Structure 1
């Protein structure tokens, strides 16, 4: 009788750990970064603050969609995750979640996210979310990541998709300001992720993943990082003339220029350290890139409201 009565208590104690494991599979920190670009895209589309109901539904649907893609990525990559120190504690590697359970979880999140966006926002937003999930889980994770150095380039499409989803959720269509903002996020991902890959180059090499820092020289990676950082800033400035009619003005442009200088200078500093043979410290650029995108999004929000 004692053993039987204790079982619910043991299960109750394990429940928080199980929930944390499933949440960890969704990669919450990556989701936060993706959602940073959704709100300014929605505000640009709405010309101000969208309704709370639409905002909540879009953010919830976007969170579930991004989580679904990340879970499916973890499910497929569980064999190489165990080889890399950065990922060796993920729930599928430690056994906290079984592969069949993770696959089911990812598929359920996919269906729920697309259904929510379809019912509560627009069919186009739902279609874009479904496409982003499929692209990240299949095209990037299963096809490109293990076979080409250009995986980060092509993988940037789903990473920038929240911009298009947010715009489509408001208008049911797409327009040039959304495309340009998509371009900003797409270009930004290259220096952002290459900096991370430089830091964990040994991990990727051990797992035989041909990330650019694994298959190219540090000097080549540094030069390409600088080039894409400049391109990111150039596209960000293009948002002013393209979005002038919907609220983008001098305030955003000044912020984009100032933030762009900061971003470009740090990229050149990384290249300089590489050329001198100093410690590269790529995570400095990685962290600055996050701040850059967050502050650029805030600048859009403020300019639209003002």
Structure 2
């Protein structure tokens, strides 16, 4: 009797956990934090608490909806790849229909929340981000390496969501933060794609350029080298101080060295080192921005 009661009670909890997993909460949290940092720097360290809260929450809800919708769109490919077979839809824990309704509800709720609690401009940018993610990046994945280049745009737009939330406009310094986040993603995604290349080959995803490890290494090095002048731009524009500048240049130089060594002999092990370095690099930059934003 007790066993049957437990069995009856578990499915609702399991389904809630599956919906939660569908949103990729770790990514959602990081994207929301990125938007918060963009708002903080844009406000020159004088961000109002409630504005920051609404910006972070609205960005998080919208991102959760977009990520969940992506899992619905890619459910057939997810059934094939070893890494994704256990996701809520291919594993059978959620039906495609329920996942679709849930993701759309989250996406539109997040956009409405941003519109009414922050302003229309962050909501428009968030909608544009979701559109690129679903209508450009996702279909391009099976057609062209351009998917990786396009996918960096929605990944970097949270900086502009936050910036516009704090300032009510788009400014050069906001685009500088966008550029930093965009360039950081390229070696990050390329390293991951190289490690998962066999899985991606099963479903025909073309997230890495043709030419093998040497070409991929060149792309990684080029993007990371471009970060060196880009990370300086917030200083040039007067938004960050000397501590940010020193830390950003040091972190970027280290990141560049890691990519150069990987490019010399691209293997899963060296790609993993680039990926791990990328996981440290951007949070360090965000922390430096928070610590050393120049207040007026």
| TM-score tier (shorter) | over 0.9
Alignment counterpart, residue 149 of structure 2, candidates 132, 136, 153: 153
Pair 1:211 & 2:207 matched: yes
Alignment counterpart, residue 267 of structure 1, candidates 259, 270, 286: 259
Find the counterpart in structure 2 of residue 284 from structure 1: 273
- Alpha carbons 1:122, 1:169 under 8 Å: kept: yes
| C-alpha distance in 1 between matches for 2:112 and 2:32 | 19
| C-alpha distance in 2 between matches for 1:20 and 1:305 | 42
Find the counterpart in structure 2 of residue 225 from structure 1: 220
Pair 1:252 & 2:283 matched: no
Find the counterpart in structure 1 of residue 124 from structure 2: 127
Pair 1:239 & 2:234 matched: yes
Pair 1:67 & 2:64 matched: yes
Alpha-carbon distance, 1:14 to partner = 2.2
Pair 1:182 & 2:178 matched: yes
Find the counterpart in structure 2 of residue 293 from structure 1: 282
CA gap 1:279/1:147 in 2 versus in 1, 3 angstroms:
closer
Runs of 4+ in 1 over 6 A off after TM superposition: none
Give the 3-state SS of the residue equivalent to 2:47 in structure 1. coil
| C-alpha distance in 1 between matches for 2:148 and 2:122 | 24
Alpha-carbon distance, 1:13 to partner = 2.4
Coordinate RMSD, CA, aligned = 1.8
Q: How many residues align?
A: 294
Alignment counterpart, residue 52 of structure 1, candidates 38, 49, 62: 49
| C-alpha distance in 1 between matches for 2:233 and 2:227 | 10
Alpha-carbon distance, 1:233 to partner = 2.7
| C-alpha distance in 2 between matches for 1:183 and 1:53 | 27
Find the counterpart in structure 2 of residue 111 from structure 1: 108
CA gap 1:144/1:104 in 2 versus in 1, 3 angstroms:
same
| C-alpha distance in 1 between matches for 2:288 and 2:146 | 31
Q: Deviations over 1:226-268 (max 9, x none)?
A: 11111123211122102x1xx4111111011110111101101
Pair 1:200 & 2:189 matched: no
Give the 3-state SS of the residue equivalent to 1:92 in structure 2. coil
Alpha-carbon distance, 1:10 to partner = 4.4
| C-alpha distance in 2 between matches for 1:263 and 1:301 | 20
- Alpha carbons 1:84, 1:203 under 8 Å: kept: yes
Find the counterpart in structure 1 of residue 168 from structure 2: 172
Q: Deviations over 1:183-218 (max 9, x none)?
A: 1111111100000001000000011111215x4311
| C-alpha distance in 2 between matches for 1:40 and 1:55 | 9
**Runs (5+) with no aligned partner, structure 1:** none
Find the counterpart in structure 1 of residue 75 from structure 2: 78
TM-score, normalised with respect to structure 2: 0.94
- Alpha carbons 1:123, 1:172 under 8 Å: kept: no
| C-alpha distance in 1 between matches for 2:49 and 2:186 | 33
| C-alpha distance in 1 between matches for 2:243 and 2:110 | 35
Give the 3-state SS of the residue equivalent to 1:304 in structure 2. coil
